[in-house]
Structure 1
Amino acid sequence: MNLAKGFRGGERQTALLIETLASRGNLQQTLVCRKDSPLREVLRDVSGLRFVSANHQLAGHGSVRKADTVHAHEAKAVHWAFLHHGLKGVPYIVTRRVDTPVKDRPSNRWCYRRAVRRVAISRVIMRELEMRGWGGVDLIPSAFSGLPTCEEATRRFHDTFAGKFLVGHAGALVDRHKGQRVLLEAARLLETRLPELQFVFLGDGEDREMLERESADQPNVAWLGFKENIGDYLAGLDMFAFPSRNEGLGSVLLDVMNVGVPIVATDVGGIPDIVQDNKTGLLVPKDDAIALSDALTRLYRSESLRAQLSQSAKQQLDRFSPEAMADSYISIYESIFRQEP
């Protein structure tokens, strides 16, 4: 179940799980999603996957064949799963992906308490759910996507900024969440100090026009928009900056680590589950452009530190693989099939 309108990190992880489970060949899957969901296009070639349309929580229940379990991947899907349980008695799993606390209201209490299992993708989400007292919580982190890369495309991208050291950012252009303004302020601080640094923003979102307008006088900033072949661009970066103000986990960091790019990120939400300060990346306080610029400067000036952090980061990726994520969920599914607590 995923009733989201767009396609962001949670939807990418939903798709990744479906694709990985399909490769096992021993599960029948149905995806309940909106009629206009981008997930339909992303997953159109997945063998045996059936789609059911539901633009809201009351729709689609009659179109779902008898299921052994329902897996809800976002907030509206949780309420859909609760209703489906009431209508057809199907047990359901909830995966919580955002680090904002679930509102303590009757509908949420009912939905989470009736779930047969509750899953958090990071320790901070796990703690928040446990504090609610709505039942036990499993920890299953998101996975890296294994994004395809093309050496020629990556080379062309890097050559566009010949002679520059590329500091990249990728994510929805929503400043209240991703903190792009903090990175823009850091870029201003470094504009004359380190003019060889070029800040490259990948992605789109509601704040794009505003952010572009505010940075129009910054020659060291480039806005490249949304890219289907994001792996080609991540692989061409020299450093990655992730100044989020809040973050459930930050799965894009796993994709950055997978292509060997060192990271500076904020110490918020689930990010410390991925980025261990001075071991697999550098962490800075949120909303602190000076600390961010200092960390970027430190990383830029030390090639050995960049290599050390990148190598250590890549060594931890086995526990964030799609196979590891699928194995954990299959274990939960099988416990439900066996009617274990």
Structure 2
Amino acid sequence: MRILHVDTGKSWRGGQGQVMSLHRELTKAGVSSHLVCSESGELYRRAKGEGLSVEEMPLRGEWDIFSARRIAKLLKTGNFTHLHLHSSHAQGIGLVAARLAGFRNVIVTRRVDFVPKKHLFNRWKYGSGVARFVAISLAIKEILVNFGVSPEKIRLVHSGVDPDKTRPGSGESFRRELGLAPGELLAGNISHLADHKGLKYLIDAVPLVLANHPNTRFVIVGSGELEEELKMQAKSLGLGGKLVFTGFRKDVDAIMDGLDIFVMSSHMEGLGTIVMDALASKTPVVVTGAGGIPEIVEDEKQGFVVPAKDPKALAGGIIRLLESPELRAAFGEAGRKRVIEKFSARAMMEGNLRVYEELLK
């Protein structure tokens, strides 16, 4: 068995983290695995830094015939048994490559819960050229079925994380950086600053929390197209230093350890691996019921699940956790246990491996 993975993302987001984890875990398990990713991208840099089998290509959009031909050549000469495509653009380029190479064992992982548009190109992308679709949540599986993909071609494999990557105590430096006083609690979000992350609803929730708990601090970690707009919203609400925007950070594991509460405000979400990271680090959560998030968090067991686009509900969940150290501790312990049992990177690898093995029968 030899797997060729393709991912076109240049920045580092949840999808790239999952590709990296799968590649790493397959390699550790003795499965031959090779990754093609965008030149000069963060995924390439990190995979190369770990000594994993990787090469970079231009991967410019879905119609990059030059990259498709290079991938087709790899398929013909590299003794690969499977082609695993991990992003929308990778799906387009990879399917062209597979057609050029006469290659049939094509797997597509879908991680987003956006509904595909029903135009001719998408009908081809989701058609007979794909042997199996991997949906990372039941919500995404339903979207694929509604689009017209046969349920027999879809396999559910939840994303997974390394439950031990956050080192206890590593967040103290971040708390000092923010100037947190003893007794001040910190709630925050780590994500790409895009509309579907629902951060405007989190920002609207902050004054509601501060009205009850004025010593609480908030942080939003990440960058994205809405960064300036969200900063203006916070300024208009007079939040000042109560809400800090850090921009993109590479030390997100340490930052997660520094949070007392993690808040996921998305109104669309494929699954939400950052929520798994929070649970693994024993950080209690307040999350919305968007997409696949409720498949991770059971309401009032590992955290609170509230309606999306509802600042009052978000604030209510945060306030309940602020007011109960015992509840924060109980949710933290239960969350870590859930990730270890159901959402580890190894479990994710084993789920994908079963898909690969199925196609060899």
- What is the TM-score normalised by the length of structure 1? 0.93
Q: How far does the alpha carbon of each residue in 1:284-322 deviate from its partner, in whole angstroms, 9 at most, with x for none?
A: 111111111111111211222222222222221122111
Where in structure 2 are the equivalents of 1:153-164 lying within 5 Å?
153-159=170-176, 160-163=179-182, 164=184
Equivalent position to 2:31, from 7, 26, 33:
26
**Equivalents in 2 of 1:264, 1:182: separation in Å?**
13
- 2: CA distance between counterparts of 1:25 and 1:95? 22
Q: Deviations over 1:137-176 (max 9, x none)?
A: 11111112446445564222224211311111110112x1
Q: Which moved more, 1:132-141 or 1:281-290?
A: 132-141
Query: Any unmatched runs of 5+ in structure 1?
Result: none
- Asked if residue 285 in structure 1 is aligned to residue 307 in structure 2, the reply is yes
Q: How many residues align?
A: 336
Alignment-mate amino acid for residue 138 of structure 1: R
- Give the letter for the 1:226 counterpart: F
Q: State the match for 2:187 in structure 1.
A: 167
For 1:1-16, what aligned pairs fall within 5 Å after superposition?
1-16=6-21
**Structure 2 residue aligned with 1:41:** 45
CA distance in 2, matches of 1:168, 1:178: 13
Contact 1:69 1:92 in 2 (8 A): yes
Q: Does 1:59 align with 2:56?
A: no
- Identity across the alignment (%): 30
* Partner-residue secondary structure (3-state), 2:258: coil
The residue aligned with 2:344 is: 321
Matched with 2:143 is 128
CA-CA distance at 1:261 after TM superposition = 0.5
Report the 3-state secondary structure (helix = DSSP H, G, I; strand = E; otherwise coil) of the residue aligned with 2:207. helix
The Cα of 1:115 is off from its aligned counterpart by 0.8
Q: 1:26 to 1:295 in 2, by over 3 A?
A: closer
Closer, same or farther: CA 10–25 of 1 in aligned 2, 3 Å: same
3-state DSSP class of the match of 1:316?
Answer: helix
Q: How far apart, CA to CA, are the structure 1 residues paired with 2:342 and 2:117?
A: 31
Distance 1:238 1:149 in 2: 14
SS in 2 for 1:25: coil
Does residue 309 of structure 2 align to residue 302 of structure 1? Answer: no
Larger mean Cα displacement after TM superposition, 132-141 or 150-159:
150-159
CA, structure 1 residues 133+150, in 2 after alignment: closer, same or farther (shift >3 Å)? Answer: closer
Instruction: Measure the CA separation in 2 of the matches of 1:4 and 1:185.
Output: 31
Q: CA RMSD in A?
A: 1.8
> 1:48 Cα deviation (Å)?
5.4
Equivalent residue number for residue 280 of structure 2: 258
Distance 1:214 1:48, change over 3 A: closer
DSSP-derived class of the 1:183 partner: helix
CA distance, structure 1, for counterparts of residue 226 and residue 48 of structure 2: 31
1:203 equivalent in alignment to 2:248: no
